[in-house]
Amino acid sequence: MPIAETKLHPLTQLTEDEQMLKDAAGDFADNIIQPKVHEMDEAAKLDPDLIKQCFEMGLMAIEIPEKYNGAGGSFFMSIVAIEQISRVDASVGVFMDVQNTLVNNAFIRWGSEEIKERFLPQLATEKVGAYCLSEAGSGSDAFALKCSAKEDGDAYVLNGTKLWITNANEADVFLVFANINPEAGYKGITGFIVERGMDGFSISKKENKLGIRASSTCELLFEDVRVPKENILGEVGKGYKVAIETLNEGRIGIGAQMIGIAQGSLDAALAYTQERKQFGKAISDFQGVQFQLAKMATELESARLLVYNAARLKEAGQPFLKEAAMAKYYSSEVAENLSSMAIDLFGGYGYVKEYPVEKFYRDSKIGKIYEGTSNMQLQTISKIILKG
């Protein structure tokens, strides 16, 4: 085919629905979230009114089908929205990310019709969800779970603790992974739906974090929590499959959060360098500064293409494990790098809370840690490429 007839369809080309959501999420971030960012970061708490507005905007139920009161959108639409929100505040970005790519996706994919009818309308309109896998002794070794579940008549009794649980303070619905048969190893892991207010279930220590401070991260305690059998998500003993496949998708969401942080850093640097005057002209007129901005823009576009590619593959039903790992690994590198470069370009102003770049830098660090550390992503990538 002659070059003139070739039709290009870049990964960054959005459908009409994707563009509409991007614009709406961007406007919401700029006009509603932005004025609250500093106050929420200082208070280490999300504004309750903002949480309600996220539901009203449909940002908490992008992929939930319309028959369950959701928006009936696509996975890629979730990615676009997470990116736009994180461009302004990564705390709100991860708040809606966990709801969409982990909790809602798990319920949609693994829930029975009865489970979907009970919980999806609540998750779509008013109730926050939390995804509860990590424990003190099970981080990268995610399935070394000590949280146990013992069968007792028409229920299972849960005992143990969970750590590093995002959205814990705000959540009413908790997807908890516990082992019904430790001797069977990961084959005993089962997913349980625990609801706020169940006897013996409590939310304990809230972590005082470096970044994404407004996003709650807490310890959960389970002391003889009786969970009815109808609250099992998926099959008994198949929780490992629910957990790992959901996390594979969730890593693309973290990638979206990271490119949002990187975009926010670049936007701030572009604006500041054109306003800041030194030696009689804007510092953006100096070639050394221009080169830094060019590097930032190039790294960001590379990371965005990796994230979008992984999202498109997932949505198309194609293998995406390697691409998701690459997207999360590289986007977290880029977010940290660009936010650091932005501070350098701001100089002393970049080091104070009056300007946004120091927060972008603090928020970026978590990208290399949660939902699979950078080393775990590299391990995944290397295993796949060595197998050819």
Active site amino acids = 371
Contacts of 345 (CB under 8 A, 6+ apart): 269, 272, 273, 283, 289, 292, 293
First to last CA, the chain: 31
Residue keyed to tokens 């940002």:
59
Identify whether the C-beta of residue 303 lies closer than 8 Å to the C-beta of residue 255.
yes
Cβ neighbours of 35 (radius 10 Å): 10
C-alpha pair distances (Å), 152 with each of 86, 131, 178, 226: 44, 24, 15, 9
Cβ neighbours of 15 (radius 10 Å): 11
Provide the token pair at 8.
């290009």
Pairing of strands 171-179, 128-132: parallel
Strand partners, 228: 155
- Rounded to an integer, what distance in angstroms lies between the CA atom of residue 191 and that of residue 206? 24
Q: Which helix (H) or strand (E) holds 253?
A: helix 239-275
- Rounded to an integer, what distance in angstroms lies between the CA atom of residue 107 and that of residue 120? 7
